[in-house]
Chains A and B, each alone.
Chain A
Amino acid sequence: MTSTAPLPDGRGSVAAPLPGGGGPESPQAAGIGSVTRVSGPIVTAVGMHGAQMYEVVQVGDLGLIGEVVRLAGDRATIQVYEDTSMMKPGAPVLRTGAPLSVWLGPGLMGNIYDGVQRPLPGIQARSGAWIRRGEKVPPLDAARRWPLEPAVRPGQLVRQGQVLGTCSETPLVKHRVLVPPGVEGTVRSIVPAGEYTVAETIAVLDTPAGPKELPMMQKWPVRRPRPVRERLRTDEPLVTGQRIIDMLFPIGKGGTAAIPGGFGTGKTITQHQLAKWCDAEIIVYIGCGERGNEMTEVLREFPQLKDPRTGRPLMERTILIANTSNMPVAAREVSIYTGITLAEYYRDMGKSVAVLADSTSRWAEALRELAARLEEMPAEEGFPATLPTRLAQFYERGGAVRTLGGEAASVSIVGAVSPPGGDFSEPVTQHTRRFIRCFWALDTELAYARHYPSIHWLHSYSEYAQDVAAWWQKEAPDWADMRTELLTILQREDRLQQIVKLVGPEVLPDTQRLILFIAEVIKDGFITQSAYDEKDAYCSPGRQVALVRLILMLYRRGRDLVQAGLPLARLREMKWVPEVMRAKSAYGNDELQGLAALDKRVREELDALDREHPR
């Protein structure tokens, strides 16, 4: 339970006084209770007089980390984050007096943590390929020194959220050391520029409560949102480079979105695509109760992938939280909060952050599992009655804000939902819908046809389309109209398909079959986008607009020609039609001239057709 690291060790270290003063100040409380019952991850203990709800405790001789979730007299119910095999009644329970908190400071970026912020590389260094119980590794490297540039002078009055100094955490991330929330005072001393560890005091403030030493790192309880000055309107899109999202169902910076879909519909791949290509400055990826190999894939792939805007490895702006399905269920429950707290910390530095949570259903199931063990009365499908509240609390931690330091910043949240049997009427999907504004419904039929991303254009929606239209108008003044036109064609096609299913396409007039044809071009030539196509995995806004223009031009010109009596078959048989379909992977983001040339050629060919068939 002890380590050679100079910092107080491991997750249990929350017992120590908080160096950052971020969380509630806690005395060295620590009473000792005694286990009376063990049932899976739920342990009951007596002698816990004075314990607080959500206080962290260490259970048994291994010091397994747990959290108090129910109090009755001096009896506490504890959810334990590790396997409780061979735990016996009578085992000691050590109180720490503080709620579960994360360490915040330089060194988070590029790291990979489990649900309670234990770094997985550190665990591997200690216990090999397997996660042994009771393993404790500090979340931040205590020995590493970071180059700090101070930003305040002695005698200066500083408030919460103000920058004390900056340090280059990775080439992509300028880390700002901020005055923790709730702290205000005059700078008594500040260290000169130089290299410091996260725990060293870098500034001393004279506060009304006396002098306060501030190190680079601070702690924050994960279940409490970090404060902001005010909430702002979302007006800038989170550009993802995924055509169906950006063009049809955009999400704003600070927005919230859900990706529901049965298994095999591509939730995880969509999340990976967003993590790779979206234009947030910081990515927090939470693998919550999902497959181990998927996290391995991220770990293997991200260091090699280059950020399309800076050319640096993506890992330099990414934090991973991995609590896979076979890791303890209680830690899965808390992993969501761990992730969002890290995101808020970077948001407070004035950055745009995207949180990708895969999957919130596994989190909800963890809630259900723990509630059942606590013998709580279940609501819908066994989920606890608090499910909607918990979902709302999570999604409300996203948003565009003005930080305490006065800057505009945002946390966008995209949560994958895994409805049982792909049925969207189940409680998690239904309640999630109430708290998000963007719904990307993945469709099993599309996935079966390997139409990826399998976001269904009729079942999805975005309430941000209006909000971000102004931004897009800089790229294309008629963005909103183009979007409406695409959606209208797809909707009309759906209605026509109902008829086709009954009587076949042959009976439809050419004007209607043109809709079917164009819808096919939209689906094959625009909506589908392969994550593994080097040229097409990321589609720049400029290229998205060029592709839409090409297709809509074909539609409008084709409509005129067909109305003038040109048989649709003539149009379909044109040699360049397959070229239009494949244009998305033929011309990369820096080959827009090629697209323009194709556009010109198609226009000329259409002109020629027009001349052949004079009106």
Chain B
Amino acid sequence: MAEFKLQVQDRGLQYVGSRRIEGPLLVVERVRDVGYDEVVEILGPDGRARLGRVLDISDTAAIVQVLEGTTGLSNEATRVRFLGESFRLPVSRWMLGRVLDGLGRPADGGPPPLSADRRDINGMPINPFARRYPREFIQTGVSAIDGMNSLVRGQKLPIFSGSGLPHDRLAAQIVRQARLLEENVEFSIVFAAMGVKHDVAQFFISNFESSGVLARVTMFLSLADAPSVERLLTPRAASTLAEYLAFDCGRHVLVLLTDMTNYCESLREVGTARGEIPGRKGYPGYLYSDLASVYERAGRIEGSDGSITQMAILTMPSDDISHPVPDLTGYITEGQFVLDRDLSARGIYPPVASLSSLSRLMKDGVGEGYTRGDHPRLASQLFASYARVRQVRGLADVIGEEELSRLDKQYLKFGDAFEHRFIGQGEYENRTIQETLELGWDIVSLLPRDELHRLTDELLQEHYREGIASDG
């Protein structure tokens, strides 16, 4: 049993010795005047200072979550100091262009960001009454997104991917190409990496560098070899800076969070260490609320011109979209881009699965006055026809392609063209929305006119390419 001593320090009381250390948790007894969620500084026997926060406080003990790992801590020699406030991040616009660690401290050798404005990284919930509804179309130059699942400014739209799929390349392409239609405003980018490998981080850094955006990027890096619990704060620190840039400085901010699956695993790790009752697959029962407190920080608010558009990348364990992490994410975000292994295997980039991807805010950001009047119905028709392609392919597998009816063969042709010409494009190919829509008409015209129930006669009159529909 440790010997307890109180030492008066310059900042607050310092407690020597802890009762129990278990996983990332440290239990300190006989503490006084300590608050829930308070930041803690822990000094191990090696003299290294680590940060932690209070997860549970009672009149007898505080349970402290050590953010930078408990390796090397001992019950006897550990010294703990409570810093009298919850976690705060200094924010300033000069943080653009910097590389920070997962807790927002400089990791690029530069000086700490100088700012008197220190903000609680938990933020505050946005009043739904004070939100502005997002509706400005963002042109990403990617047809699968612009044409079928358009992104709007202030939306939160994650990429559901699997290991080995090109989600990083797609995210980098979106960062490079994303523009608003009318203005040529560039996005500021806040990039938060949680538990990703060094080469992934390096990929993004060199990509930002070569496309000349690095000066507008702030990176929060909590890489795979950093203590896993640190990741729980990384997206919150990143969102805090994003809120400052967007709502205080009026910038348009694109927040990239990768990889949220790692974040959720850290959450599970802490939950398990606390002996909490687990929910699905061992994840804590509050996973939904916790994810919401990160995702719901995107959007636009009254009284500010800025916006936060959020793109979280998450890898679905064994490509399972019903896994708790993608499942709960999909319930919070405004749609999702799903990457498909089959498309990828057939050499189609970006392998965006058209049917399971969805943008909930698309309906308000496209059409007359935003993109083009024919956009909503054309997209709807492409969806419906492509859904039919799947049925026809299923049938062709059974009875053979030769036995298909003429119409079904036309559908197969349409399906191939749709996948290779419309969805597929180059990693550096930047299509305007006009190009995307015209291409859509080229492809939908491979089907006979009578099959296109979702298009009106006027639209067909204006855009349908006669004579392209083949004889199957």
Chain A interface (Cβ < 8 Å from any Cβ of B) = 36-40, 44, 83-90, 112, 120-121, 123-124, 127-133, 262-264, 287, 289, 291-293, 295-297, 299-300, 322, 324-329, 362, 365-366, 368-369, 372, 375, 378, 381-382, 418, 420-423, 448-451, 500-506, 524, 532, 577-578, 581-582
Contacts and interface: CB of A to CB of B under 8 A. Distances in A.
Nearest to B321: A421
A327 B394 contact: no
Max count, chain B CB within 10 A of own CB: residue among A129, A264, A297, A300: A129
B337 to A, nearest CB: 12
Contact of B322 (A84, A422, A506): A422
Given A326-B126, A378-B277, A532-B363, A449 B383 contact: yes
Contact of A89 (B58, B247, B388, B403): B58
Given A37-B59, A87-B35, A293-B133, A326 B387 contact: no
A127 B126 CA distance: 11
Per CB-CB distance, the 7 closest pairs between chain A and chain B, nearest first, are A421-B322, A325-B292, A449-B387, A326-B296, A37-B58, A86-B35, A120-B129
Given A291-B296, A326-B292, A449 B247 contact: no
Given A293-B154, A326-B295, 17 more contacts: A85-B122, A88-B33, A121-B129, A124-B129, A324-B128, A324-B296, A326-B293, A328-B125, A329-B286, A368-B279, A372-B284, A382-B285, A420-B280, A421-B321, A449-B355, A451-B387, A501-B398
B38 interface: yes
B131 A293 contact: yes
Given A368-B285, A382-B279, A38 B36 contact: yes
A296 B456 CA distance: 31
A581 B36 CA distance: 62
Given A37-B57, A264-B335, A369-B285, A504 B404 contact: yes
B303 interface: yes
11 contacts: A39-B57, A129-B302, A131-B126, A264-B358, A287-B128, A296-B133, A365-B288, A420-B324, A448-B383, A449-B355, A450-B380
B86 interface: yes
B134 interface: yes
Interface in B64-121: 85-86, 120
A500 B456 CA distance: 30
Chain B binding surface, main DSSP class: mixed
B288 A325 contact: yes
Interface stretch (B172-180, B204-212, B325-333): B325-333
Contacts of B470: none
A325 B122 contact: no
A504 B128 CA distance: 51
A293 B125 contact: no
A338 to B, nearest CB: 15
A129 B303 contact: yes
Contacts of A322: 128-129
Given A121-B129, A129-B301, A293-B134, A325 B285 contact: no
A381 B280 contact: yes
B427 to A, nearest CB: 27
B356 A448 contact: yes
Contacts of B372: none
Interface string B340-374: 00000000000000011010110110000000000
A124 B403 contact: no
A503 B405 CA distance: 12
Given A418-B331, A501-B395, A131 B125 contact: yes
B127 interface: yes
A420 B322 contact: yes
A448 B122 contact: no
Contacts of A86: 35-38, 85-86
Contacts of A532: 363, 376
Contacts of A329: 286, 289
A465 B405 CA distance: 40
B384 interface: yes
A112 B154 CA distance: 22
Contact of B129 (A36, A289, A299): A299
A123 B332 contact: no
Interface residues on B, range: 35 or more
A85 B58 contact: no
B264 interface: no
A369 B296 CA distance: 19
Given A293-B133, A293-B334, A372-B277, A448 B387 contact: yes
A85 B450 CA distance: 62
Contacts of B35: 38, 85-88
B276 interface: yes
Nearest to A37: B58
Given A88-B35, A120-B129, A421-B327, A291 B334 contact: yes
B55 interface: yes
A263 B126 contact: no
B283 to A, nearest CB: 10
B122 A130 contact: no
Contacts of B398: 501-504
Contacts of B126: 129-131, 292, 326
A503 B58 contact: no
B332 A291 contact: yes
Contacts of B58: 36-38, 44, 89
Nearest to A426: B280
A128 B130 contact: yes
Contact of A112 (B129, B286, B456): B129
Contact of A362 (B59, B154, B288): B288
Nearest to B132: A296
A506 B394 contact: no
Contacts of A362: 288
Contacts of B247: 129
Nearest to A121: B129
Nearest to A520: B453
B399 interface: yes
A369 B125 CA distance: 19
B17 interface: no
Interface string B397-426: 011000111000000000000000000000
Nearest to A525: B453
Contacts of A502: 398
Contact of B56 (A38, A133, A264, A421): A38
B170 interface: no
B376 A326 contact: no
B327 A382 contact: no
B34 interface: yes
A38 B57 contact: yes
Contacts of B33: 88, 90
B383 A450 contact: yes
B162 interface: no
A368 B154 CA distance: 31
B436 to A, nearest CB: 18
Given A86-B85, A129-B130, A421-B327, A37 B56 contact: yes
Nearest to B34: A88
A449 B384 contact: yes
B278 A264 contact: no
A120 B56 CA distance: 31
A262 B330 CA distance: 9
Contacts of A292: 126, 128, 131, 296, 299
Contacts of B383: 448-450
Nearest to B155: A293
A133 B361 CA distance: 30
Max count, chain B CB within 10 A of own CB: residue among A89, A295, A581: A89
A372 B128 contact: no
Max count, chain A CB within 10 A of own CB: residue among B131, B276, B285, B405: B285
B297 interface: yes
A225 B324 CA distance: 35
B296 A325 contact: yes
B459 to A, nearest CB: 12
Given A296-B133, A532-B363, A501 B36 contact: no
Contacts of A38: 35-36, 56-58
